[in-house]
A and B are shown apart, each in its own frame.
Chain A
Amino acid sequence: MENRLTKLFREKRENLLNVYFTAGFPELESTGVVLKTLEAAGADIVEIGMPYSDPLADGPTIQQSNTVALRNGMSIKKLFSQIEAVRPELEVPIVLMGYLNPVLQFGIERFCEEAARVGVDGFILPDMPLHEYEEEYQPLFLKYNLSVIFLVTPQTSEDRIRKIDALTNSFIYLVSSASTTGNKVGGDAKQVQYFQRIQDLNLKNPKLIGFGISDRSSFQLACKYAEGAIIGSAFIKIIQQPENLEENIRGFIREVKAPEAVSA
């Protein structure tokens, strides 16, 4: 398998910044602008959320962005056309994150086919059972050169982590703590111990830490124990206002990636 994600990880395996945003937020046509600005500002991966009425694993900030995006008229079909329109100008790997139900209604094969056609590189479908992926969807995802990304939490057993590592062909999404999205990573002893434990497993895939990464210090902490990190809720807060969208995005990414703290 070869796609923009696998290529990226061949070339770079540290301080990787993956930024999540919800498609169609804050306005229906924001998707393309946010994508382009993120690549220009230096995001290594972009994760686009497909809005859902019942996002179980998400905290209030991302839930709210889902509600707004759906009200704006966002859909998977619309998202594919938005990505298609800007893809020729972009190099950044694109990962789609969403819940299984809308994908099943779209049709899983059609979903893979369209995703591949418009230049998507992988999926995160948190409520897709591992065994169902193995038994039903894996050949399809491979056929269309699409990576699949599974979550690992502090409670995931080592056996299961090994199994996930074996099934993965891009990166592992390391959930920072028992939480929905949007809680802050504290870096307490228990958390550091967990990151260390995973690091010591010497998995074949790179790991990106997500849930609670919100700023430069939490990003740097995550990068000490993993190849990179994912910022979601904190970024959604930055793009809540349609005004000065590009400027706000550039400022936020610059600050997160700065090697030294930037004074305001």
Chain B
Amino acid sequence: MKYSVDERGYYGNYGGAYIPEMLYPNVEELRQKYLEIIYEPAFQEELQGLLRDYVGRPTPLYWAKRLSEKFNAKIYLKREDLAHTGAHKINNTVGQILLAKRLGKTRIIAETGAGQHGVATATVCALAGLECVVYMGKIDTERQKPNVARMQLLGATVVPVTSGSQTLKDATNEAIRDWISNPEDTHYIIGSVVGPHPYPDMVARFQSVISEEVKQQLLEKEGRANPDYVVACVGGGSNAAGAFYHFLDEPEVKLVAVEAAGHGVDTGFSAATSVLGTLGIIHGSKTLLMQTDDGQIVEPHSISAGLDYPGIGPMHAHLWETGRAKFYSITDNEAMEGVVMLSRLEGIIPAIESAHALAALHRMELKPTDVVVLNLSGRGDKDLATIINYLDNIEKPHGEQTN
């Protein structure tokens, strides 16, 4: 497969493992064992059982009729919002917790931005009876209080991170520092297709259940396994990796990756890495990265905490460079209009992350015969405070640009 990771952990020019020696033994152990462990029949049996009975898979592929009428194309929503804990994140954490147990680890750490990955990790730790520590930027703990409460209810310790900008990037740094200090008993469950090899590939494989199901479901509904388009939002890019995975080598399927433009790509308040990023190293991986000329990592902005990340997974950097995926950047305001649109048209309140993908439908030149699969990565309940605040202000004039 041309778009999959190579033996050395690279996707074209992107990927690798740029880590200090303190992390080397753990990452190396994972690299040597992950494929063997996850394709072992007993592991697969346990994983498939949990995905079915605990996560609630397969998630439906829903023909969104009114949305389709609006865009004059046949649009299906892959309902990851209906998975346990409300987003696709659990597909990866269920897989990694089983892996951690097989590696003999007794303590789990994770980073989280909006809290969805933190909740998904705390959930599987409760399930497995393992200690769980979640690092979360102090600013994020304040703006995502309900998720902090959920994690604590699930028995996790939430550590507010006060270093740097106190958001996702720094939470990830702090989780890595924890792993450096606890190399023997601890497994680090990274929540996206980022980090040193083998994480991007491992997380993509656990998320690939999304496209595996889409192929079957679409075959049943449309008589063909391949849609014309697969659309997904990209922060680090785990839901997009999962939605694209089994279509990467199907050239007739157009892949659409949607990034957060924040206030607009030229405003200095953006997270559109494919537009603003250059080749660099973040969290152990060589990829596209928002940085200064001196190589200092820049703080991104997005209204959606899940897309508020200054890099993208190396797989996506490669899809961008090769042109295999088309990238769009959607502003905060466009995304919020997407939230309202899907709520009113289909009775589904999407996560603001997923609403970026919805907003990209406006930019795509769709034909009536086009079959589009849009990965609805999460539900919007967690975003209610942000959404209400946005709707309250919508009438008032404000300075933000909309494009």
Contacts and interface: CB of A to CB of B under 8 A. Distances in A.
Given A101-B291, A105-B294, A127 B19 contact: yes
Nearest to A75: B294
B293 A105 contact: yes
B295 A101 contact: yes
Contacts of A129: 16-19
A150 interface: yes
A251 interface: no
Interface residues of A, number: 39
Interface in B18-59: 18-22, 24-26
B282 interface: yes
B181 interface: yes
B249 interface: no
Q: Which of B18, B21, B25, B280 gathers the greatest number of chain A CB atoms within 10 Å?
A: B21
A63 B165 CA distance: 12
Contacts of B341: none
B280 A127 contact: no
Given A59-B177, A180-B177, A180-B181, A103 B295 contact: yes
B393 interface: no
Nearest to B299: A53
A104 B284 CA distance: 14
Interface in A106-127: 106, 126-127
B4 interface: no
A152 to B, nearest CB: 7
A150 B20 CA distance: 9
A156 B24 CA distance: 8
B297 A57 contact: no
A263 interface: no
Interface in A168-182: 175, 178-180
A77 B19 CA distance: 25
B316 interface: no
A56 B291 contact: no
B16 A56 contact: no
Contacts of B164: 53-54, 63, 67
Task: Please classify how large the interface on chain B is, using the bins under 10, 10 to 19, 20 to 34, 35 or more.
Answer: 20 to 34
A99 B286 CA distance: 13
Contacts of B176: 56
B180 interface: yes
Given A56-B177, A76-B294, A175 B281 contact: no
A52 interface: yes
A178 B26 CA distance: 12
Contact of A178 (B183, B280, B291, B296): B183
Contacts of B182: 178
Given A67-B164, A155-B184, A179-B180, 19 more contacts: A53-B164, A53-B297, A57-B20, A57-B180, A99-B281, A101-B281, A104-B280, A105-B293, A127-B284, A150-B21, A153-B21, A153-B24, A155-B22, A157-B25, A175-B22, A178-B182, A179-B181, A180-B181, A183-B181
28 contacts: A53-B164, A54-B164, A54-B173, A54-B297, A57-B20, A59-B177, A63-B163, A101-B280, A101-B282, A104-B281, A105-B280, A105-B293, A105-B294, A105-B295, A126-B20, A127-B20, A129-B18, A129-B19, A150-B21, A151-B21, A153-B21, A153-B25, A155-B22, A156-B25, A157-B25, A179-B180, A179-B181, A183-B181
Interface of B: 16-22, 24-26, 163-164, 169, 173, 176-177, 180-184, 279-284, 289, 291, 293-297
Interface of A: 52-54, 56-57, 59-60, 63, 67, 70, 75-77, 99-106, 126-129, 132, 150-153, 155-157, 160, 175, 178-180, 183
